[in-house]
Amino acid sequence: MQAPRSAEIVRFVPLICVIAMAAPRAGVQAQASAGSLSPPVVPGYEHLRLAGATDEAALGEILLGELNCLSCHQATEATARRIPTKTAPDLDRIGERATDRWLADYLTEPHEQKPGSTMPEMLHSLEPDEGQRVAGTLVGYLAFRGAEAAPEDQDAARSDFTDGFPVHRFRSTVERGRRLFHSVGCVACHAPEGTDEEPGVPSVPLPDLNAKISVAALTDFLLEPRGARPSGRMPPLHLARDEAEDIAVYLLRSQAPLVVERRRGFEFEYFLDPEQDEDVAGFFDRPAPNLDRAEPAAVGHIAALSLNLPAKMNYGNHAVRFSSLMTLPAAGKYTFTLASDRRSGLSLRVGEEVVAAKPQFSARESAADVELLAGDHPMEVAYFIRGSVEEPFLEVRVSGNPLQPETPLADLTSYENVRLRPTSAPPAPRNWYEESGSALFARFGCASCHSSPGVDPERGRSYAVSRDKAPDLSALDPDQVLAEPVMHTGPTSPRYRLADDQKRAIRAALASLRDLPAQRPPDREIVHTMASFNCYACHQRQVGDTVVGGPDAVRARYFRVVNDQDLGDEGRLPPPLHGAGGKLKPQALHSILEGSDLHVRRDFMEVRMPSFPGGTVERLAVALEAADASAGDLDEPPFSSAAADDGLELMGTNALSCITCHDIHTNRAPGVSTIDLATSWERLRPGWVDRFLRDPAAIRPGTRMPAFWPESAENFEHLGGGSVDGQIEALWSFLSLGTSMPTPEGMEVGSEMVLVPDDRPLVFRTHMIDVGPRSIAIGFPENVHVGFDANNVRLAKVWRGGFFDAKGTWQGRAGQFYGPYGTDVLNLPPGPAFADLEDIDNPWPTAGRNDRNVGGRFLGYRLDEQGRPALRYRLGDILIEEAPIPLIAGGGTDLIRRFRLSAGPAPRPLFLLLAEGEKIASIAERTWRVDETLDVSVASTADLEPIIRDSQGVRQLLQRIELQPDDTLELDVTLSW
Amino acid sequence: MLRQDHPTNVGPTVAVALLTALLLTWPLPAQAPLDEDDWRGREKELLASQRASLGSQTDAEELYYRVLTMPLNEGMSMEVGGLLQLSDGRIMAGTRRGEIFIIENAFSDPPKPVFKQWAFGLGQPLGLLELDGWIYTAQRGELTRMRDTDGDDRADVFETVTDSWETSGDYHEYVFGPRRTPDGKLWVTLNIPFGDQPYGFAPWRGWAVRVDPATGDTEFVAAGLRSPAGVEVSPWGEVFYTDNQGEWNNASKLSLIEVGDFHGHPHGMASTRHPDSQVEPPPEGQPEGGTYMKDLHELIPNYRMPSIWFPYVKMGQSPSGLRWDTTGGKFGPFEGQVFVGDQHHAMVMRVFLEKVGGHWQGAAFNFRRGLDSGVIRLAFADDGSLFAGMSDRGWGGVGPEPHGLQRIVWTGAVPFEVHEMRARPNGFELTFTGTVDPETAGHPASYRMESYTYRLSENYGGPEEDKLDVAIRSARVAADGMSVRLAVEPLRAGYVHELHLHGVRSSDGEALLHPDAYYTLVNIPAR
């Protein structure tokens, strides 16, 4: 017994080798090298230059703004409005974002540290040791600023610098970060890595991040760059926190790891297949799930390639990804043998490439030969299974010189846990610098560009002496300016290292500025703003006869379609902005630029449209509309539900088949999946749609959208009067239903468990978020749906679009609360519809989570012949029937709440709560607008006069209803939102 | 009659081997309460061995009870939670997804059923009852009655009968029933919630309620239920229910419910102090973990001992729907006995009950294995066949299908089985479905018996405790060869007496189809 037991113990000793400092990985080396200092990179300017722009003055204006010239050189009011200053980074709490060493180096020689930086050299006149001392003092001062505000945060930031940021599953995190960095849009401006080719447009430089910043600080910065850089030139890309962290780890992967643990085995990620219902036809042989886009349910590490994961596993369909570093002893040809149970699929990726795969339902084994170099190779093994088998297993074996015989993959692999910390030395104590530091901050002109929160504004201004020293912009002699050594060589003058073409442009701008008004013409304003914010990185737009912008050939490769759908360049490259102001409705333009909504390509385009600050958006949107819009394009053609019905038929596969390629709300198109038509009405000007439908290629050259009426051929005579005009009007009428548009013929609707009320309403008992554990969700074919709380007897939610995903009710043990599967969610007041207030001054009853029957006793529901339900409840001696009824309307189908009240022998007066909000205003006969979001109108068989009251801090629109014994009353309340 | 002359004899041998295998793999009791998923992990290991030996066992059963499978329409989910034969003869099945189907042509052989969706979107209805032209069902949040007023085979009126209990939305808050007692009242049982502590916040969970269908008046009549998946009224009008093992119900059971009972689970105990409670609050509060259930009445006078304990794995793992055989012999020789489904083992068990010392108790036997999925509901049809509605969603199970509907039909051949097992002052009396071979049946060595009991505790499930071999002192065959008296020692009240009759043969030399019996001896009869 003894011997084998000790042998076992030996086997369990984990293979750990601790390496104090890992050899640097392949990655960015600091690019600084003396003697080859790049001029400041202003990418929008570069795009215009590349396109052959010749208006030197306009180019110069861009540089004047982007280089913050007007921060020191006072300009006339008109000029200052014409050229908004970019503004420099906010240095508040910079000590949490940058190490002292890096800051000091950067202050001393910004262009060596960050070639192409727009930060000018300020300490260039000082002797090296003096420069070091000044920089050191400034660093101490900067680090101190803002520190008082949150000493704990500072401590936390310090510990990120000293102890390092723990990264588990280092390799897979780096890989995820690499994929994100090269797909979401970072490389539209910054340099892509892993290629020797130089992008056509100079890249926005990155500093030596390894020396500068911690993973935590970089993650925060990526999530909201405008905190530290209010200019918005670095825009947020709608990253989730873990995405931002993955990118940060990727960018900082070469930082000095505090400890590198290498352990034999793999990192693993365990995924639940989003498809769990095995009843779906073709379920078992669908393609493998895309794990790059899936959220792992569990992660961890494991010594062997095994499905016996040390994690909580469910029994549903699942996938596991194992990742590791594979260390090969020699270069040569290796044979990988993949084996797994028959029902599962297995694939092996080495580096960027999938080198071997074993499909589902194939033989148990599959082998592939690969030529590989000696050394470490990142690798991934992905396993997925649908359905269950008696003994699931997987195995990967490797053979090849000198691995004879076959070796289990696990014997060659190891994973790493690291802590990343900046390569610079930890900070020194510093608050004693404050006094002299603040003086230097002013003396060397820092305060001119960098706003100074945390410093007494009065003191800050008096220190900002350099502003006084710089001549006014209008006083500069265009011929002399920037002509070194005459200008910008003084001891505290900024040195930009401008290129000759940049100087030429600035001089031209200065020469022309005096005569120019505060406002540019719209077309020039568009160019100026698009260049300043580098919209040209992704978007093309015509300037005169030339097309400016768009990703250059090297960068364009990184723009991809999700899941490799076949959508051509149209599907992967952001759209050109020719005529964009004439295409989009003004609100839509704002919404897209501010990043809040309507990014209709995000479902299939990997790159993400960032958000831009409000003021800029305003300027650009106004200019775009002024430059591009045609008169009358916003006029809505007449709406009729008959036209919308024709439109529905035209969209379907029996007519124009629009839905072959276009999604509708949550429903995917059966062919390729492109722009959701449910957003069309909200986004597009009707006039533009009319022109586009008639000849798509004329408006969007090269589009895959076909022309439907070639040579005015008239098809489908029964629809839209058989004419092109009528059919376009019918299509627009349908589009104007927005997310409540019904589903056209031929559309595959949702997943197996998404409920689709296609011909009859669906009444579905479930539990819903913000409705309650006893919810009745009612879906209508008109795609307006409601959620009713049967406990408190109240209509709680109304929404448009998709109805409800039954997964939370039907899958597994169920019991999950889901929200609506659609959009345009309208939440009704928290209390019931009716109450017996007794006194008009009494508050409206509200219902707690465990309360029931607050708005009456729920009695059930009845379905009419079309299956439309009427909910029934009794309050006091009054029986109330409430039927929700969709009302087709352009701009989105509305909802009628049709009430029928029947009194018994002894009814008491009731109040009906029509609406609740901050603001309620009468806008028409029996119609009120609530908080600018909801219109409520009332129609009744009786003569009713609603009242508005303030109660419990809200405004309420109430109707008092007094019924005589055995009397009935009918009442329609129409909600339009 | 049918092939009775050459029965297959492999069944018993395999069953014994299987049992041995199961005993060997029985998991040790845990130190700390297990969560449900841990427990399932252990179950999984047991499953493989069970599956391996199923085939031959069910082949033998098929000779006596055929299982006919209703083919389902493409994409249909038939996770049956409610099942009955309508007064017009058609079958009605309600599903866990909330659909109710009317099934026509269900009696064809081979089955060619036609499914009509009668209702959609109910909240996990887990029972069906036809009464005065209405269909009653228990949904999560209410007892509901429904009817089709225009004769298009679609329900169009849905009325709330009572919503006097609450639901917090926890997945485990299932509601079962209703069943109707002769006084016209409807009984519904309410699951406790389950999950991370503290779980659930609704009162009355783990209670049985009694509803007057005319007024909706609801009484809260019994507490301490855990997962009461089956509720049924006996032919003599008393209410019985099955409960799934877990925490505070450490062995699955069949139990009588009477007004005022406490069944052991402390979850809903706070509600006993509610003015509407018809259950006396336990004087000492929550029972202390670790007490033998047989001794609990000393601490909690209204604690109800079960009628049957179903030993874990040996007799299923999740007892569910149950029905008394009132077919008048159309379903074979077991008229008057109870058939109980098991959601995990995809099987139907058989229970014989007798009243001893005022307490219903008796024996459980295997009956029919190898169904397609976990059995949730059983329903006898008027032709004497037994419909089984199935679903193993969320818990997994032995059968190959995730859900389905099957029909068990007696072939007319009488299996050689223990028919009844009655307690006697010094042992048990066994009756058989056929005459026994006096030689083997009269020999004590043909039998083996052991006894054990269970503690009540917060652990998830519980081991067989205080286990003892029981000696078979004598086996006396009656003159007609139809019964045997066993004198055994010791006979312990409050213990399951597990009997193996591996050596007993029929007068034709046939072995028992199911040679194991599990008698829950709560009371020892005086004579």
Q: Count Cβ neighbours within 10 Å for each residue of A714-749 and write b for 16 or more, e otherwise.
A: eeeeebbeeebeebbbbbbbbbbbbbbbbbbebbeb
Residue B30 has pLDDT above 80, yes or no: no
A653 vs A779: which has the higher pLDDT: A779
Q: State whether A908 and A947 are in the same domain.
A: yes
pTM value?
Answer: 0.69
**Min Cα–Cα distance to chain A from B374, Å:** 14
Q: State whether A907 and A766 are in the same domain.
A: yes
Residue-range definition of the domain harbouring residue A445: 54-159+429-513
Q: How confident is the model at residue A702 (pLDDT cuts 50, 70, 90)?
A: confident
pLDDT at position A922, please? 94
- Rounded CA-CA distance A619/A460 in Å is 31
Alpha carbon A599 to its chain centroid, in Å, reads: 9
- Rounded CA-CA distance B392/B428 in Å is 36
DSSP tally for chain B: helices H, then strands E: 3, 33
- Rounded CA-CA distance A661/A645 in Å is 20
Q: Residue A579: left if φ>0, alpha if ψ -120 to 50, beta else—which one? A: left
Please indicate, yes or no, if residue A570 is contained in any of the structural domains.
Answer: yes
Q: Domains in chain A: how many in total? A: 5
Residue A712 has pLDDT above 70, yes or no: no
Residue in this structure with the two tokens 């809260």, named with its chain if needed:
B220
Cβ atoms of A498 and A482 closer than 8 Å: yes
Burial class (CB in 10 A: 0-12, 13-18, 19+), A696: middle
Residue A667: DSSP 8-state: B
- Chain A residue with the nearest C-alpha to that of B144: A860
**Best B96, B136, B163 residue to mutate vs chain A (most A CBs within 10 Å):** B163
Q: Which of A762, A774, A852 sits opposite B121 (nearest CB)?
A: A762
Please indicate, yes or no, if residue A29 is contained in any of the structural domains.
Answer: no
pLDDT at position A34, please? 38
Residue A424: DSSP 8-state: S
Q: State whether A341 and A368 are in the same domain.
A: yes
**CA nearest neighbour of A915 among A892, A893, A894, A938:** A938
Q: State whether A942 and A841 are in the same domain.
A: yes
How many residues does the structure list for chain B? 527
Q: State whether A82 and A102 are in the same domain.
A: yes
Please indicate, yes or no, if residue A46 is contained in any of the structural domains.
Answer: no
Q: State whether A933 and A809 are in the same domain.
A: yes
pLDDT at position B13, please? 39
Q: Give residue limits of the domains in chain B.
A: 10-40+415-521
Please indicate, yes or no, if residue A217 is contained in any of the structural domains.
Answer: no
Dump pLDDT digits (tens) for B271-325. Answer: 998 999 999 988 776 667 789 999 998 889 999 999 999 999 899 999 999 999 9
Q: Is A7 helix (H, G, I), strand (E, B) or coil?
A: helix
Residue in this structure with the two tokens 């345009």, named with its chain if needed:
A824
Residue in this structure with the two tokens 């193996």, named with its chain if needed:
B500
- CATH code for the domain in which residue A289 is found: 2.60.120.1560
Residues of A with CB under 8 A from a CB of B: 278-281, 312, 315, 390, 752, 762-767, 772-774, 790-791, 806, 809-810, 812-817, 849-850, 852-853, 858-865, 867
CB atoms near residue A285 (< 10 Å)? 11
CB atoms near residue A631 (< 10 Å)? 7
- Chain B residue with the nearest C-alpha to that of A867: B156
* A315–B171 C-beta distance less than 8 A: no
Residue in this structure with the two tokens 């002894």, named with its chain if needed:
A906
Dump pLDDT digits (tens) for A952-966. Answer: 899 999 999 999 999
**Min Cα–Cα distance to chain A from B460, Å:** 18
Give the least confident one: A162-176, A669-683, B296-310, B478-492.
A162-176
- Rounded CA-CA distance A158/A152 in Å is 10
Please indicate, yes or no, if residue A188 is contained in any of the structural domains.
Answer: no
**Min Cα–Cα distance to chain B from A812, Å:** 4
Average pLDDT, chain B: 88
Q: Which helix (H) or strand (E) holds A48?
A: helix A43-50
Dump pLDDT digits (tens) for A612-643. Answer: 877 777 889 999 999 999 888 999 988 999 99
- Chain B residue with the nearest C-alpha to that of A763: B121
Give the least confident one: A4-13, A229-238, A246-255, B180-189.
A4-13
Q: State whether A965 and A854 are in the same domain.
A: yes
Q: Which of A816, A849, A859 sits opposite B159 (nearest CB)?
A: A859
Q: Is B58 helix (H, G, I), strand (E, B) or coil?
A: helix
Per-residue pLDDT averaged across A367-395, rounded? 84
Domain's final residue, options A378, A396, A420: A420
Residue B40 has pLDDT above 60, yes or no: no
Alpha carbon B378 to its chain centroid, in Å, reads: 10
- Chain B residue with the nearest C-alpha to that of A806: B97
- Rounded CA-CA distance B229/B81 in Å is 10
Q: Which fold has domain B10-40+415-521?
A: Immunoglobulin-like (2.60.40)
* B402–A278 C-beta distance less than 8 A: yes
Domain's final residue, options A628, A653, A671: A628
* B159–A850 C-beta distance less than 8 A: no
pLDDT at position A488, please? 58
Q: How confident is the model at residue B176 (pLDDT cuts 50, 70, 90)?
A: very high
Please indicate, yes or no, if residue A316 is contained in any of the structural domains.
Answer: yes
User: A858 to chain B: which residues are within 8 Å by CB?
Assistant: 142, 160, 163
Instruction: Give me the half-sphere count of Cα atoms (radius 13 Å) on the Cβ side of residue B47.
Output: 19
* A762–B120 C-beta distance less than 8 A: yes
pLDDT at position B34, please? 37
Please indicate, yes or no, if residue A957 is contained in any of the structural domains.
Answer: yes
Per-residue pLDDT averaged across A81-96, rounded? 86
Residue A561 has pLDDT above 50, yes or no: yes
Please indicate, yes or no, if residue A176 is contained in any of the structural domains.
Answer: no
Dump pLDDT digits (tens) for B74-99. Answer: 889 999 999 999 999 999 999 999 99
Residue A815 has pLDDT above 90, yes or no: no
pLDDT at position A391, please? 72
User: A861 to chain B: which residues are within 8 Å by CB?
Assistant: 158
Sequence-distant (6+) residues with CB within 8 A of A886 are A740, A780, A782, A783, A784, A893, A894, A895, A896
User: A853 to chain B: which residues are within 8 Å by CB?
Assistant: 163
Would you state the structure tokens that stand for residue B222, as one six-digit string? 């019994």
**Best A312, A774, A792 residue to mutate vs chain B (most B CBs within 10 Å):** A774
Q: Which of A765, A814, A849 sits opposite B139 (nearest CB)?
A: A765
Q: How confident is the model at residue B411 (pLDDT cuts 50, 70, 90)?
A: very high
Q: Which of B77, B158, B167 sits opposite A861 (nearest CB)?
A: B158
Sequence-distant (6+) residues with CB within 8 A of A954 are A916, A917, A918
- Chain B residue with the nearest C-alpha to that of A755: B121
Q: How confident is the model at residue A36 (pLDDT cuts 50, 70, 90)?
A: low
Q: Is A940 helix (H, G, I), strand (E, B) or coil?
A: strand
Residue B153 has pLDDT above 90, yes or no: yes
* B160–A858 C-beta distance less than 8 A: yes
- Rounded CA-CA distance A870/B158 in Å is 10
Would you state the structure tokens that stand for residue B2, as one six-digit string? 């049918």
Average pLDDT, chain A: 84
For A546-577, the DSSP string reads EEEES--HHHHTT--BGGG-S-HHHHHSPPP-
DSSP H stretches of helix in A384-493:
434-443, 446-449, 457-463, 465-469
Query: What is the C-alpha R_g of chain A?
Result: 33
**Min Cα–Cα distance to chain A from B51, Å:** 10
pLDDT at position A554, please? 94
**Best B145, B152, B166 residue to mutate vs chain A (most A CBs within 10 Å):** B166
Q: Which of B166, B169, B394 sits opposite A812 (nearest CB)?
A: B394
Residue A293 has pLDDT above 70, yes or no: no
Residue A4 has pLDDT above 50, yes or no: no
Please state the φ and ψ torsions of residue B489, each to the nearest 5 degrees. -150, 135
**Min Cα–Cα distance to chain A from B169, Å:** 5
pLDDT at position A281, please? 56
Q: Is B278 helix (H, G, I), strand (E, B) or coil?
A: coil
Domain's final residue, options A391, A420, A449: A420
Residue A485 has pLDDT above 50, yes or no: no
pLDDT at position A915, please? 94
Q: State whether A815 and A903 are in the same domain.
A: yes
**Min Cα–Cα distance to chain B from A770, Å:** 12
- Chain A residue with the nearest C-alpha to that of B125: A765
Q: State whether A832 and A850 are in the same domain.
A: yes
Dump pLDDT digits (tens) for A829-859. Answer: 988 999 999 888 999 998 776 678 888 999 9
Residue B388 has pLDDT above 80, yes or no: yes
- Rounded CA-CA distance A553/A964 in Å is 79
* B140–A765 C-beta distance less than 8 A: yes
* A773–B167 C-beta distance less than 8 A: yes
Q: Which helix (H) or strand (E) holds A62?
A: helix A56-66
pLDDT at position A829, please? 92
Per-residue pLDDT averaged across A324-342, rounded? 88
CA distances, B377 to each of A422, A601, A726, B339, B363 (Å): 65, 49, 58, 10, 21
Give the least confident one: A533-537, B26-30, B369-373, B439-443.
B26-30
Q: How confident is the model at residue A344 (pLDDT cuts 50, 70, 90)?
A: confident
pLDDT at position B78, please? 97
Per-residue pLDDT averaged across A866-893, rounded? 95
pLDDT at position A426, please? 53
How many percent of chain B have pLDDT more than 70?
Answer: 87
Q: State whether A659 and A763 are in the same domain.
A: no
User: A813 to chain B: which residues are within 8 Å by CB?
Assistant: 171-172, 393-395
pLDDT at position A442, please? 77
